[in-house]
Amino acid sequence: MRNHIDFSLDPEELFLDPVSDKGLCFLGQPAFLWRLRNPALIEGFSVSGHEDVRNRTERFLRHTRQHKTFRKVVEFASLPVVMTDVSFRKSHALAAGKCVLNGASGFRLLNRFCWENELDREHPEERLVRYFEARQQANRGARLPLWPGEFPEDLDFAIECRNTFNYFHFLTETLCQLCVLDDLPFRGRVFIHFPNAPEKTRSFTRSFVAALFPELKGRVFLERAPKDYDRVLSSYNFINSFYHLPVEATGEVDAHAPSDEMWKGPRATRSSQGVLSMNSIDNSLVRLRARALAAIDGLDFSHLPRRFYVGRKVDQSRRRDLGGEEALVDLLSAFGFARIAFEDFTPLEQIALMARAEVMISAHGAGFTNMLFARPGALVIEIGTLQTAVHRWGDFWPLANASGCRYVSFFADYNKDDPLTDPRFGNDGIVAPALTDYGLGHLMAFVAASLGHPPRLGRPEDVARLANQLLRTGQPDAAAALLDRHADLGLVSIDLCLARADLHKTRSEWNGELMALMAAWEADPARWQTLVQIIWSAKKVDNLKVQTWAVQLLADQFPDRCAEVVRDRAWLRALI
């Protein structure tokens, strides 16, 4: 029973409030608890060979862009703390008898509370919302509890670990926590407590600790939970305490949310917590990235490829074959791609691979953890499925946001007998993706165009779709080259005219945008949206004549739409 956590307790008894509860003290006032930073470029496209799957995936992607994607990323502080009356149970830590809501471990505790109590009369999510609301009120004006006196040099450092065989969880949740020791005169031992059988521990745990934290040589110990301490140093991340803090301390984040459909601000709903997790970064990840890049600085890695496809080593990972992999690798080789497996390289070589990479491509998997080390602007391409889009895509956003790379996902088909039926996550786990001829063609067209080799495509709508993908992934020059190659198709295709307008808009070429929109209207006079675009474009260049023409034409041919557009806009109504 030492490993047991009683989830039948009320949240007030179960979860530790780091501001008001006993059991946790901070080693000095933090410079920040959270701060805003610019996001990376994160995009996703559907390339399923089946129209139904494409449509469902595109709907999910639109919903994600409109309701889940923040305009700014929230960087939460990870701070060194002294915990008292400590118990590590499975992959969690308790202090003074209460569960510490620390980073990803904290999210799992909150989810587990909901699962364990889902049959209760009162919905567990509402109980959590009420708990956090009460803490927000109680913590108004309160200060963080600080450790009295000098740094306790006699203490060891202990942290929780999800497991010692999953690279993603180990690096993003455990290894990064060691960075809080950087600013401390720490001389003790480090204990990493995990729940799994020790024989399942993989070698990367020790090799990455040795490579990135050489100063801790001989002082890091992996030890299975349960383990108790009277007092110990640890690390605490503030992402879950976002909901412990009063509204006046957290409200600024609301201004950067896309809508209130999923994001509920300080209300600790599960959807709100999920959106916050997608759009946040643990500061210790930022520090781990800096430490990793410093470790390879000045070393010679010229033998490593800059364009590569990452495959899986069957003997060291779950069997999850990408359908169509051989055809993909063969096509990529023509563009100078090497086929690699991260497991064949040392930790520093893995870091250097990403730090030097122009383009990395792989099927969904833990290898994308190394996106943390990618150079800003590097193109990191994931091949996934609708399942990975729904259940796993957001897990990797913090890594892209920490590095500033361009994280682009192509969601293809399932590599299974019935690719039209979504797998059940609880029964089937993660199902590997498969590239049909359709998916392979669209992916390779994007890769070729991104590398300066715009393909010749037969249909205007395919050209426009690819141009749109290039623009949305920050590649206007590649989009321009593609459209220029298909200039002969542009005179009669509204798709290409609109793509050209989007290109000019991206480049802030307002006259060019207006001309392209006028050509789009000539190509398809039945599309009322083009007239609306012309109105706004003409306004940018102060062309009152074109504005008036477009508004009057909209009123004449599409009166209902015109009424919607001019509502609450007296300056537009005056032009009719």
41-52 pLDDT, tens digit each: 999 999 999 999
- Report whether CATH 1.25.40.10 matches the domain 457-573: yes
**What is the average per-residue pLDDT within 270-293?**
97
- 20-37 pLDDT, tens digit each: 999 999 999 999 999 999
- Minimum mean pLDDT range among 106-110, 130-134, 149-153: 149-153
- 454-479 pLDDT, tens digit each: 999 999 999 999 999 999 999 999 99
Phi then psi for residue 94, to 5 deg, are -120, 140
Burial class (CB in 10 A: 0-12, 13-18, 19+), 423: middle
- Reported as a pLDDT band with limits 50, 70 and 90, residue 118 is very high
User: In terms of Cα–Cα distance, which of 530, 471, 470 is closest to 498?
Assistant: 530
- Minimum mean pLDDT range among 243-247, 291-295, 381-385: 243-247
Burial class (CB in 10 A: 0-12, 13-18, 19+), 424: exposed
Strand segments (E) across 278-378? 280-282, 307-310, 338-340, 359-363
- Reported as a pLDDT band with limits 50, 70 and 90, residue 1 is low
C-alpha neighbours within 13 Å on the C-beta side of residue 227: 21
In this prediction, residue 314 carries a pLDDT of 65
Tokens of 297: 């600085």
**What is the average per-residue pLDDT within 325-353?**
98
**What is the average per-residue pLDDT within 269-281?**
96
- Reported as a pLDDT band with limits 50, 70 and 90, residue 535 is very high
Tokens of 272: 């709100």
Calculate what percentage of the chain has a pLDDT beyond 90.
90
Helices (H), 297-431: 325-333, 347-356, 386-391, 393-403, 425-428
Tokens of 506: 């991206």
Instruction: Please state the domain extents for the chain.
Output: 11-33+77-245, 289-446, 457-573
pLDDT at residue 540 tops 80: yes
- 301-333 pLDDT, tens digit each: 999 999 999 998 766 555 678 999 999 999 999
In this prediction, residue 428 carries a pLDDT of 87
In this prediction, residue 318 carries a pLDDT of 56
Residues 6+ apart with CB under 8 A from 373: 289, 292, 293, 350, 351, 354, 355, 403
DSSP letters along 44-76, please? Answer: EEE--SSHHHHHHHHHHHHHHHHHT--SSEEEE
As its CATH architecture, domain 289-446 has 3-Layer(aba) Sandwich (3.40)
Residue labelled with tokens 């096509």: 331
- Within 10 Å of residue 395's Cβ, how many Cβ atoms? 17
Treating both helix axes as pointing N-terminal to C-terminal, what angle do 476-485 and 437-450 enclose, rounded to 10 degrees? 110
**What is the average per-residue pLDDT within 284-312?**
97
**What is the average per-residue pLDDT within 124-140?**
96
- Reported as a pLDDT band with limits 50, 70 and 90, residue 250 is confident
How far is the C-alpha of 44 from the C-alpha of 407, rounded, in Å? 8
- 369-409 pLDDT, tens digit each: 999 999 999 999 999 999 999 999 999 999 999 999 999 99
Residues 6+ apart with CB under 8 A from 328: 309, 322, 361, 435, 440, 443, 444
Fold match, 289-446 / 457-573: no
- Reported as a pLDDT band with limits 50, 70 and 90, residue 160 is very high
